[in-house]
Structure 1
Amino acid sequence: MDRAGGARRRLARPLARVARWPRAWWARQSLRARLTLLATALFSFAVITGAILLLVLQRYALTRVLDQSANKTAGDVAQLFSSGKEPRTLPPTTGGITAVQVVNAHDDVISASPGADPHTSIVGPSELSAVRGGDRPTITSSSDARLRVVGRKLGARTILVSTDVSRVEDSQRILTRAALIGSPLAVLLMALASYAVAALTLRPVAALRHGAADITAAGLAKQRLPVPDAQDEIHRLAVTLNAMLDRIESATSRQRTFVGDAAHELRSPLASLRVQLEVAQRLGPTVDWSGLIDDVLVDVERLDRLVEDLLSLARLDESGALTRRDPLNLDEIVQEVVAGYGTARVPVVAETQPSPTSGDAEALRRVIINLVNNAVRYAATEVHMSVAPDKQGGKPVIRMIVDDDGPGIAEAERERVFDRFYRVQESRSRQTGGTGLGLPIVRDVVNNHGGRVRLAERPDGRPGLRAVVVLPGEPE
């Protein structure tokens, strides 16, 4: 049993390889060759089908003409006999009719046309029986002529009319030879035309491939794929790919800048820590350990904030869109956050109204904390917050405002502060400066929630800065 199974498996392997060969061969061919082969195969099928159909229709049409002529002749003879005349010799035949006979029930010829045998029927007994049954047999005469016999019953008698089908067969042979000679030529011309058209059509694809190879070798900088002039699918593909390359280059540039800035920002507190520890190492027991620890903790806290902000930005870049959309009340989150600033350097006051919205509660909490931290850092006397539902463009929104009475930010820099690691000059000290990532995080989170954030002057004319966040509200 094992030997039989092994033999079957050994036999199945070459059969499987043979079955896979056409698919493997087809997969190795170029797209141009596959299009040419497919177009040529379809054209060949159409030509062969058309030639066969033409031959069939031609034979049918010519045979029908002969049958119509034979039926007319038979009708004339029947009319002659119906009038009481029964001539021994019938009128001469015309229009491809070779012979006309009238036979009785005993298969005896009682009338015949000139040139027809006046004694012997043009068909044998079996064929005559078939003619009486409605068939139209094709026979070979004694002179090797091909004759088609049409019969018509006239009482006990039968009128036989034979027509020469050699002209039909000659036409068939001529058309068949023309098809055998012309079809391969037509298929060959179609194959060449298909190959040329495929080559011309795929030329933009080849240009795209060469352009992609150049970009792979030299990089994205200032290089894009060629866009063909034709407004077709390849044109749209090239435009789409170039747009994708633009985004990739922009993302790569932002990533390179981000990594460089992150390295620079991390280097500063690390260098400060190293200097302080080296100084302490040299001073030995005489160092002021209490002050040193305070200074080290400042740098450690700065490192902690920076790492946390970097992780937040990395998560935002990875998600790229809002993944959670839970129903929440923004006013409740604001109250919870403000309650944690009871011991801040300046008081934080919040005015809230019920503000239902949807989104990621933790991400929005981070937005509020970052805005309040910035305001507390630079405020002179207090920070004022408000959150309330509003209307914008006829749609419900939630408007959150954070005001401080600090030095403010110049109008030219209000957009730049949303760039990663950008900080205005007043915020660059180690003691009061942030990481330069708080407002970029605010912008990304708000954008992911379908809202927007902006900085402006306080409308009451007092010094300071106003941060305005607008988020989509829940329909009433």
Structure 2
Amino acid sequence: MAVLAVAVAMVVGGTALVLGLRTELSNDVRDAARARAREVARVIEAGRGVPVLRVTDPDEEFVQVVAADGTVVAASANVRGRPAFADLRPGGTAAVDTPLDEDPFLVVAVGARDGGRELVVLDGRTPAGVAEATATVTRFLLIGLPVVLVLAAAATWTAVGRTLGRVARAESAQRRFVSDASHELRTPVATLRQHAEVALAHPDRADTGALAGTVREEAVRMQRLVDDLLLLARADERAAGGVRRPVDLDDLVLEEVRRLRAAAAAPAVDSTGVGAARVTGDEEALRRLVRNLGENAARYARGRVAFALGDGGDGWVRLVVEDDGPGVPPADRQRVFDRFVRLDEARVRDDGGGGAGLGLAIVAEVARAHRGTVAVERAAAGSGDAGSGDAGLGGAGLGGVGLGGARFVVTLPSGERN
């Protein structure tokens, strides 16, 4: 439909262009013929008699001075001795056939008085130039319009195809998001309802403390899930950046290190590779990014987690979080950042409400909102010190400690660069 509309508009516009060009050029020919006829008439009326009539191009122009009875009084050399080519009253215009050319000539008539005689000056010109110009423009249009239509069709097809593709993907993602969110919320709600129904059915057997603990755990899980959903919703609305100001990222990392060390059954946390680094962004969103990476590493670690942070001096800050767990299979290293993705579906979720599959999705969204990236790879096995090696981090000196598990690398613009 878009191409058809463009085609109709271009055909109408092209037709109007050709007709307008033909009219304008014809008017130019008519005006030039009338101007010369008037000049001849002024000479006659000045009392100097009929002048010698000359034309610039004998094959395309002629001039005749005709008396009232149709007699040719004077003529240009190329039509001398020929009868009048037109019988026109002063001010008239006509297209007439002449022996000078196969195409009709445009003839204009201008009145003149020579003493007591009424004369008519006929100036004729061929409109061949008009026909040639319009034919040339028409040929260009006939060649150019299909090309433009093909280009317009390709551009329209591509643009509309992509836009419908984005809409379809957005709708699919929205439906999947709502479905997954409903599923995740259904579990704690069902747990709360089940315990409440048991307590109501057997009030004498209900353990108030156990019931309160269950309600608290599921409420925390629901609160965590709702907070994550709200953060992702803000990210979808391009509002994940929040209020941006200078943030000392090393303070947030060390804060997460202290939190993990204080947790029950916490793994050993190595922070010797954490150096000073400043970024510009939303402090709360960046705190969530660091916390989610720390919780993910602690959840899968067998016994050790390591943090490394540094500003490479190349305009980028790099944060590395490693664990000694099973790692992420290469086939899942992109999918792991999708929403509601859990690589280990059989894992029992912890008390903090983790396991909904939103933690790493939030990490990816926060990094993207801060014009950064996040990637996961396999940590090299070894026992080096934090900060050893390079591992292709652009000279940041953040090779990690070689725990052999998952290695998450977040790259953010440095707050120290202009």
Taking a change above 3 Å as real, the CA distance of residues 283 and 247 of structure 1, as seen in their structure-2 partners, is same
Matches within 5 A, 1:146-185: 146=118, 165-166=119-120, 168-169=121-122, 171=123
- For the 8 Å contact 2:50–2:74, the answer to whether it is kept is no
Structure 2 residue aligned with 1:208: none
TM-score normalized with structure 1 length = 0.57
Matches within 5 A, 1:288-367: 288-319=207-238, 322=241, 324-345=243-264, 346=266, 347-351=268-272, 352-367=274-289
Deviation at 1:309, TM superposition (A): 0.8
Higher alpha-carbon deviation: 427-436 or 352-361: 427-436
Matches within 5 A, 1:196-235: 230-235=149-154
Q: For the residues of structure 2 that align with 1:377 and 1:315, how far apart are their CA atoms? A: 26
Q: Secondary structure at the match of 2:357?
A: coil
Q: Which runs of 5+ in 1 are unaligned?
A: 1-29, 76-93, 98-136, 147-164, 205-227
Per residue, is there more helix in 1 or in 2?
Answer: 1
In the alignment, residue 449 of structure 1 is paired with which amino acid? H
Structure 2 residue aligned with 1:218: none
Q: For the residues of structure 2 that align with 1:297 and 1:276, how far apart are their CA atoms? A: 12
Q: For the residues of structure 2 that align with 1:45 and 1:289, how far apart are their CA atoms? A: 92
Structure 2 residue aligned with 1:465: 406
Corresponding residue to 2:34 among 48, 52, 59? 59
Q: Secondary structure at the match of 1:376?
A: helix
Deviations 1:168-211 (A, max 9, x none): 24x47x99xx9xxxx9xx9xx99xx9xx99xx97xx9xxxxxxx
Higher alpha-carbon deviation: 398-407 or 426-435: 426-435
User: Relative contact order (C-alpha < 8 Å, sep 6+): which is higher?
Assistant: 2
Q: For the residues of structure 2 that align with 1:458 and 1:47, how far apart are their CA atoms? A: 77
- For the 8 Å contact 1:328–1:356, the answer to whether it is kept is yes
Corresponding residue to 2:377 among 440, 456, 461? 456
Q: For the residues of structure 2 that align with 1:340 and 1:421, how far apart are their CA atoms? A: 25
Taking a change above 3 Å as real, the CA distance of residues 469 and 56 of structure 1, as seen in their structure-2 partners, is closer
Structure 2 residue aligned with 1:368: 290
Q: Secondary structure at the match of 2:325?
A: coil
Q: For the residues of structure 2 that align with 1:453 and 1:402, how far apart are their CA atoms? A: 11
- For the 8 Å contact 1:427–1:434, the answer to whether it is kept is no
Deviations 1:27-79 (A, max 9, x none): xxx9888877776766666555544443332133356568899979999xxxx
Corresponding residue to 2:309 among 377, 383, 387? 387
Q: Secondary structure at the match of 2:203?
A: helix
Q: For the residues of structure 2 that align with 1:341 and 1:310, how far apart are their CA atoms? A: 24
Deviation at 1:421, TM superposition (A): 0.9
In the alignment, residue 328 of structure 1 is paired with which amino acid? V
Asked if 1:239 corresponds to 2:161, the answer is no
* Number of residue-to-residue matches in the alignment: 323
Q: For the residues of structure 2 that align with 1:334 and 1:299, how far apart are their CA atoms? A: 28
Corresponding residue to 2:324 among 405, 423, 426? 405
Taking a change above 3 Å as real, the CA distance of residues 358 and 231 of structure 1, as seen in their structure-2 partners, is farther
- For the 8 Å contact 1:229–1:235, the answer to whether it is kept is no
- For the 8 Å contact 2:374–2:409, the answer to whether it is kept is yes
Q: Secondary structure at the match of 2:214?
A: helix
Matches within 5 A, 1:8-47: 47=22
Asked if 1:285 corresponds to 2:204, the answer is yes
- For the 8 Å contact 1:405–1:463, the answer to whether it is kept is yes
Deviations 1:266-292 (A, max 9, x none): 111111111111111122122222122
In the alignment, residue 364 of structure 2 is paired with which amino acid? R
In the alignment, residue 139 of structure 1 is paired with which amino acid? R
Taking a change above 3 Å as real, the CA distance of residues 73 and 407 of structure 1, as seen in their structure-2 partners, is closer
- For the 8 Å contact 2:246–2:279, the answer to whether it is kept is yes
- For the 8 Å contact 2:292–2:363, the answer to whether it is kept is yes
TM-score normalized with structure 2 length = 0.64
Deviations 1:412-450 (A, max 9, x none): 333322121111226632436522100011011112222
Q: For the residues of structure 1 that align with 2:247 and 2:343, how far apart are their CA atoms? A: 34
Corresponding residue to 1:445 among 366, 375, 379? 366
Taking a change above 3 Å as real, the CA distance of residues 233 and 365 of structure 1, as seen in their structure-2 partners, is same
Q: Secondary structure at the match of 1:299?
A: helix
Q: In terms of Rg, which structure is larger?
A: 1
Asked if 1:253 corresponds to 2:195, the answer is no
- For the 8 Å contact 2:308–2:319, the answer to whether it is kept is yes
In the alignment, residue 413 of structure 2 is paired with which amino acid? P
Q: For the residues of structure 2 that align with 1:240 and 1:320, how far apart are their CA atoms? A: 26
Q: For the residues of structure 2 that align with 1:403 and 1:430, how far apart are their CA atoms? A: 21
Taking a change above 3 Å as real, the CA distance of residues 302 and 68 of structure 1, as seen in their structure-2 partners, is same
Deviations 1:293-328 (A, max 9, x none): 222222111111111111111111111774654333
Q: Which runs of 5+ in 2 are unaligned?
A: 53-71, 76-110, 383-402
Structure 2 residue aligned with 1:210: none
Q: Secondary structure at the match of 2:262?
A: coil
Per residue, is there more strand in 1 or in 2?
Answer: 2
In the alignment, residue 417 of structure 2 is paired with which amino acid? P
Taking a change above 3 Å as real, the CA distance of residues 53 and 431 of structure 1, as seen in their structure-2 partners, is closer
